[in-house]
Chains A and B, each alone.
Chain A
């Protein structure tokens, strides 16, 4: 096996093997488990670094394993895959550090970290999938790997949330399976191809292709939390903070959004899908999700629940950008895949810090918390301002390209959606910042833990600060080489052959 074929497999193995070992480690082997976790994450990031350099210079990384007659399990590193692989690998490392600090002293850590690694393996598999059947396999593996993480606490509420999650995602997976099988019977191939592989099919099949598109988008829309398929996401908030971060920023919702990008780019092709009249309804569904998520977030007092509805809204930006079907909007949608991840993981880390350090779970308990935890709230403020789209954060860059893309394609109504969403984001984030920075604390904190002179544990604070820093840095240096924006532009150029 050549190096080009081995590298995608090694990237998968770097999280899969440590994860399998960790499953069998006794609870008290803390040092070994931590070493395995961190070594796997660092190794994966190093391998991804090599791969991204190669992809940029035209190296073709592909591993092919026979799966079914005529269908191979294909792992391929193209620019779009690398955007998601880099995001998930980097955020996995950060989340691992955070989770080590967060779960210190809690039970079932081997089980937790085992599934955590498996979850990232599945996510990277989703990203590297070279055809729809490989994508489907890893997509379903992701469902199974995240379920134990959601029910990790073992409470009735957690089990209920897990059950809802399973019902939704298995239903979605089944729809995806039907769409995939139907597509295979029509086209005879499932290989992801730049600008799609369906445009050459007979015009009499266009009706069937439209139905298949609906099936695929419905299947993927469950994980991407498009309305009305988003119901599992706010419930899954009972999971520990690192899992919430993983669900919202790294793995699950991103896998759904990424799948929609793949279907539009590499199965249908954006131009062909637009020709079939499929992109406008998708854009309108995404726009409705953007507004609905923000409206629902406005009424939540539970911090993580507010963030969950915010995710419903923000992930729909990715779909909106792709469905607007113009080069600049595609850049906006793709770059938001990374940008939303950075901002949302920052917010969830901070929510976890508040819960772990002071026992704060509700927004109404956050009065004056900026004085008690200034660094955490600084990170939170950067993430929140980014979500609103305030410059120079990454949120501004995403909205800038989405807006320009909408004008480029003559879809001015998207600007109104962006403006309305920004207004709603401001309405549900700014009162939190006001309460934290300018109100006096109401009294004692609900459950304060002592960390000496520090505001909280370093393992909790450092990841929040790092991702907040990147939220600013990738906005300020948006045009720097290898920035998410440049990489997204590179992908859009390939798609539109510019």
Chain B
């Protein structure tokens, strides 16, 4: 094992993590770019590299393999470098210190996920990336951005729960979490279908695969270009990589699951094409570009899932495809930004209104968001303000509080029972003794 490669593998996710602490990057020029240097150097190493980290988490490792790892890493370095340049900066250091911290945390998670060799490591890095990206979206964002980010957060939590369950199933079946061990073990497992469903739900929500793409479109319209640039490279590309890493592709043929995934892919492609065709404005093109690309990927993935032999023949191109998705979305963002600044009239918001076929999904997510992230704080606030319209919630709280008070009264009754019990026990013991 080449010692330099080992250190570069470790430093690739570690350096951004360290630089995320404001005090540690205070005097460093271009910190967001400097954080990318180990990844760049790693790409320059000719041979594949791997390092085992048995002391990390539940036994982890990092590796850069020729196909699946190297292309996405190269794409990530390019796109992250460009995004870092677009952050509002003074003397190479971002003006908003917190924005830079979120940026570096997300970067660490994104790079770590590409290099992870086992499920727990991948999950941990992708969670870091997901929450960091949420913070990037929210930090300094306008009201629509925050609303869209909230939907993303809800889907992220649901996705993480689904992936955690899949992770448990995989570890329980295979006895370890290395990708190479999990894939054949899950292929032979009777619970393969459930595992595949969990993985698909988890990564489809993270990738914005139709019909879970609802967070992508509003986000691309509302957040700053530096962050939109990352849409394809961060949540989408990493989730596609996760699908390839986690699913038993090439080890099992699951025609039913493959058909479902292909169906989702076709629907995604059609909806993206229709949406892009009926809009003159380009504000949401990057998002629809993501939906289109993930749809195409899903069609290919479904074919590979349905027939192991197909994946054996074409699976080697997955890394390149994922890298192309990230780059293509970044280029779309850049093209849209150029079009805006080049004096071409930008279509109004009405022109970017959702199409009829998107509305049901948006309505469903809005309802879910209201039920989850919006309603509960509102209940709390309204309850505190004594809002009469939410009497049911107050009644709930009152009922629960009343129950607790009742329980506290029971405690006295319990004491009485206990005292009687002690007396009876002592009396019984003394009579028994005689």
Interface residue B353 (Cβ < 8 Å from any Cβ of A):
no
Residue from the list A164, A408, A422, A480 in contact with B411, Cβ < 8 A = A164
CB of A301 closer than 8 Å to a CB of B: yes
Chain B, 397-434, CB within 8 A of any chain A CB: 397, 400, 404, 407-408, 410-412, 414-415, 418-419, 421-422, 425, 429
Compute how far the CA of A182 lies from the CA of B418 in the bound complex, rounded to whole angstroms: 14
Please give me the residue from chain B that is nearest to A388 by CB atom. B157
**A42 / chain B contacts, CB cutoff of 8 Å:** none
Q: How far is the CB of A313 from chain B (nearest CB, A)?
A: 14
Name the interface residues of B371-414: CB closer than 8 Å to any CB of A. 372-373, 376-377, 379-381, 383-384, 396-397, 400, 404, 407-408, 410-412, 414
Interface check B322, CB cutoff 8 A = no
Assess whether B57 is interfacial by the CB under 8 Å rule: yes
Asked whether B161 lies within 8 Å of A422 as measured between CB atoms, the reply is yes
B138 CB contacts on chain A under 8 angstroms: 434, 438
Cβ contact within 8 Å between B381 and A364: yes
A174 B415 Cβ-Cβ under 8 A: yes
Q: Do A231 and B408 have beta carbons less than 8 Å apart?
A: yes
Q: Is the CB of A167 within 8 A of B124?
A: no
Pairwise interchain contact B397-A178, C-beta atoms closer than 8 A: no
User: Is the CB–CB distance between B164 and A228 below 8 Å?
Assistant: no
Whether the pair B171, A404 counts as a contact (CB closer than 8 A) is: yes
**Docked-complex contact B380 and A391, CB < 8 angstroms:** no
Instruction: Say yes or no for A459: interface residue by CB 8 A criterion.
Output: no
**Judging by beta carbons under 8 Å apart, are B404 and A231 in contact?**
yes
Q: A408 and B157: CB pair below 8 A?
A: no
Residues of A within 8 A of B376 (CB): 298, 427, 431
* B415 x A177 contact (CB < 8 A): no
Distance between Cα atoms of A168 and B412 in the complex (Å): 8
In A381-440, the 8 Å CB interface with B consists of 385, 389-392, 396-397, 399-400, 403-404, 407-408, 415, 419, 422-423, 426-427, 430-431, 434, 437-438
Asked whether, in the complex, the Cβ of B383 is within 8 Å of the Cβ of A299, the reply is yes
Q: Indicate if B153 sits at the interface (CB-CB under 8 A).
A: yes
In contact, B55 and A479 (Cβ under 8 angstroms): yes
A480 and B55 CA atoms in complex are apart in Å by: 6
Interface residues of B in 53-96 (CB under 8 A from A): 54-59
**Out of A385, A415, A426, which one reaches B165, CB within 8 Å?**
A415
Known: A171-B415, A391-B57. A423 touches B172 (CB 8 A): no
User: B422 and A174: CB pair below 8 A?
Assistant: yes
Q: Which of A6-14, A101-109, A340-348, A470-478 contacts B (4 or more CB under 8 A)?
A: A470-478
Task: Please pick, from A178, A385, A423, the residue contacting B161 in the complex, using a CB distance under 8 A.
Answer: A423
Q: Is the CB of A437 within 8 A of B135?
A: yes
**A361 lies within 8 A of chain B by Cβ:** no
Contact B397 A299 (CB under 8 A): yes
Q: Contacts A299-B397, A479-B59 given: A174-B419 contact, CB under 8 Å?
A: yes
Chain B 115-159, CB within 8 Å of chain A: the 1/0 string? 000001001100100010001001100000010000001000100
**Given contacts A167-B412, A299-B397, A479-B58, A407 and B422 within 8 Å (CB-CB):** no
Contacts of A280 in B (CB 8 A): none
Contact partner, B168, options A177, A182, A403, Cβ 8 Å: A403
Q: A181-B425, A404-B172 are in contact. Are A171 and B58 (CB under 8 A)?
A: no
Cα-based distance from A235 to B168 in the complex (angstroms): 37
- Asked whether any CB of chain A lies closer than 8 Å to the CB of B169, the reply is yes
Contact of A427 among B124, B372, B381 (CB under 8 A): B372
| A interface majority secondary structure | helix
Beta-carbon contact of A301 and B380 below 8 Å:
yes
Residue in A385, A431, A479 with the greatest tally of chain B CB atoms within 10 Å: A479
Q: Does A282 contact B (CB under 8 A)?
A: no
Q: Does A170 contact B (CB under 8 A)?
A: yes
Is A2 close to B, CB under 8 A?
no
Please, how many angstroms separate the alpha-carbon atoms of A301 and B397 in the complex? 12
Q: Residues of A contacting B383 with CB < 8 Å?
A: 299
Contact residues in B for A397 (Cβ distance below 8 Å): 58
Q: CB-CB < 8 A to A477: which residues of B?
A: 55-56
Closest B-chain residue to A418, C-beta based? B164
Shortest Cβ distance from B68 into chain A, in angstroms?
22
Known: A174-B419, A185-B429, A391-B127. Contact between A404 and B168, CB under 8 A?
A: yes
- Cα–Cα distance between A427 and B422 once the two chains are bound (Å): 45
A399 to B171, CA, bound (A): 13
Q: Chain A, 221-234, contact with B by CB distance < 8 Å: what is the 0/1 string?
A: 00000001101101
In the complex, A296 has a CB within 8 A of chain B: yes
Bound Cα distance from A178 to B273, whole angstroms: 74
Interface status of A175 (Cβ within 8 A of chain B):
yes
Residues in A neighbouring B397, C-beta threshold 8 A: 299
Please tell me if the beta carbons of A171 and B418 are within 8 angstroms of each other in the complex. yes
- A475 and B57 contacting across the interface, CB-CB below 8 Å: yes
Note all chain B residues with C-beta closer than 8 A to A404. Answer: 168, 171-172
Contacts of B161 in A (CB 8 A): 419, 422-423
The residue on B at minimum CB distance from A422 is: B161
Q: Which residue of A lies closest to B417 (CB)?
A: A171
Interchain CB contact under 8 A, A390 and B408: no
Contact of A476 among B57, B396, B404 (CB under 8 A): B57
Given contacts A404-B168, A407-B172, 12 further A-B contacts (CB under 8 A): A171-B415, A175-B418, A181-B425, A301-B380, A385-B131, A389-B164, A391-B127, A419-B165, A427-B372, A430-B153, A431-B377, A476-B57
Interchain residue pairs A-B with the least CB separation, the first 8: A391-B124, A174-B418, A407-B172, A403-B168, A171-B414, A231-B407, A171-B415, A167-B411
A-B contact pairs, 23 of them (CB 8 A): A164-B411, A167-B408, A171-B414, A174-B418, A178-B422, A178-B425, A229-B407, A231-B407, A232-B411, A299-B380, A364-B380, A391-B57, A400-B58, A400-B168, A403-B168, A404-B168, A415-B168, A419-B165, A422-B164, A423-B157, A431-B376, A477-B56, A479-B54
